Structure 1
Amino acid sequence: MDTMKEIGIIINVIVCCINVKGNIETYNWFDAQQLCRNSSKRLTTNASGSMDFIWTGRHKRFSQWIKILGCYKDSSLRGGLIINMTDLEYPSIGLCQEHCLRRHYSVYAMKATECVCLQKDFKGIHLPWDECDRHCLNENDDILSTECGGKEAFNVFSTETGNQFTDVDKQCIALLCEEDFSRFKPLDCSDPLEMICSISEVYSIKGNWRSSFQKCKSVNNTNQNGILDLSNAEEACNVINVTSEAPLWVRVVREIYMSEDQGESFFDKTLITKCQKCKNSHCEFVTCFEKNITEVNCTVLHVSTEIPNSEPPAESKKDDNLKQTKPQQPNQTTK
């Protein structure tokens, strides 16, 4: 009889333990990020010492739409046109755009790791495309990996905001100038299309977006006037004076780049493509909805400004603290 009681006690203990284990809460990346955000913190980027996988703040995401304005002389932009600057950890067009959008600036430029925010109505000196010959040299940015300035030059970009382009998984934009209907349309960047190299020229050999853009730069090195107003497709077709049933590439793309959590609200989770989980020094990017992480590590929030989802407000006055600064290293984590 005593033996039967002991067996019953053991069974109850086992069942109890199983139930406790089953009630352990698990978190996907967005759950973990929200927990940190609720405490005015952000997900840690330091997973050293962790015995199990934890979510870090690093994630891969779509940028906002990026319009390529051209190659500009370094010194012509430094004459009062720069209103904010930072030195990024690595060169990234998407990360530079994010930095400037957080500060409500829609025009920005890259030269190696130097990211600068510019006045919206800036007037710099155009240079030939081949003066901006630096590659970004990071493993994340892809489409714009050749557009990180030059020895004495910046690549300049502007942000195209708004909700007129709703195809979540497309990264490139083409213009359709049909006889009775004109429109801009997001397409796969691998589609073979002709490209609008400048207002007066369409490059006639079809290629994917990147190869077409590189070819445009090589055959049209000094003419960079290919900027179209994406809010009015009909006017854009009138400007280039083209009627075509086939779409034509324009100089507007979205980059996929690596960012870090800054405690913002993610109203559109489709912009985030992969999230990083780490166990000590082993890290990997996985789907952000994977829900098998049981521990959330947060750290101090340094920047909490949201990335706007609509047109940024009018550019504010020049920042008082105009200087180059590397991103701060994360503090020790707190659970």
Structure 2
Amino acid sequence: MQSNPVRIGTRGSPLALAQAHEVRERLTTALGPDAPAFEIVVIKTSGDRILDRPLAEVGGKGLFTKEIEEALIDGSIDLAVHSSKDMPTALPDGLVLDHFLPREDVRDVFVSTRHRSLADLPEGAVIGTASLRRQALVRRMRPDLQVVTYRGNVQSRLAKLEAGVVDATLLALAGLNRMGMQGVATEVLPLDGFPPAVGQGAIGIESRAGDGRIHALLAAIHDPHTGVCLVAERALLAALDGSCRTPIAGHATLSADGGTLALYGLILTPDGVSAHDGHVTGRPGDAAALGAGLGARLKALGGPDFFADVPGA
């Protein structure tokens, strides 16, 4: 007798669906003849419905996860697929985010139909992005530009760009790669000038703590290198009380032999004028402590009023 299918919860955007299908395909391939049936369940989140206001004004990152996590808790789905950069550091009781696919490219890209690069934008040009990190980084590099909040999925943002609502926008290269749309990128932005969000490029899989059956399935596709990097980055974010109201960048990497973990962190004021950054290296087994330590150091450098002007803070 065939058991009930394993239900994979996801948002309904083209990128979210591409990520959910990738998880299903990897599970099916890794488990082979023993693979159960998998069903993708689309769940509309508050973040998908509320598009006319900045996230910081309406609840932050949790708007993209609340309804999905409720479905996990009540048993309507068995696991949830997320863009790790959308995940708050504090999860609801009984849920864990501890399985990750191999990480994609972490860089951001500049996208414009009329200009070749961020540096090429004329003075006063309008660049749209919903990310406070991207907004602050642009303002640091190009204070002469107009930076506006610009929300929606990749396709809707590109459509508004084509319609001339803005002169340019910024997107994650990982998402474009996953949808086969990398040709949209006008310029790939360098990591040294434009470091990524915590978790950028990593698909995270959330599940119920103690669900041995699901954890055994996910172990077959979990990438431990990505996992340890995300532990460090998310510990950094947690130490900074990071949310959609705080411009923060963080990026961890492992050495080729897997023996050394390096973590970079950056905090900025929303106007991009003030910034503090730092590096730390250590053993992968100390990932959480390394992230927390760097976060505490950056928080001390910034002082208690560093994010005072952040909307909603």
TM-score by length of 2: 0.26
Comparing both chains, which one has the higher relative contact order based on Cα–Cα distances under 8 Å and sequence gaps of 6 or more?
Answer: 1
More strand by share: 1
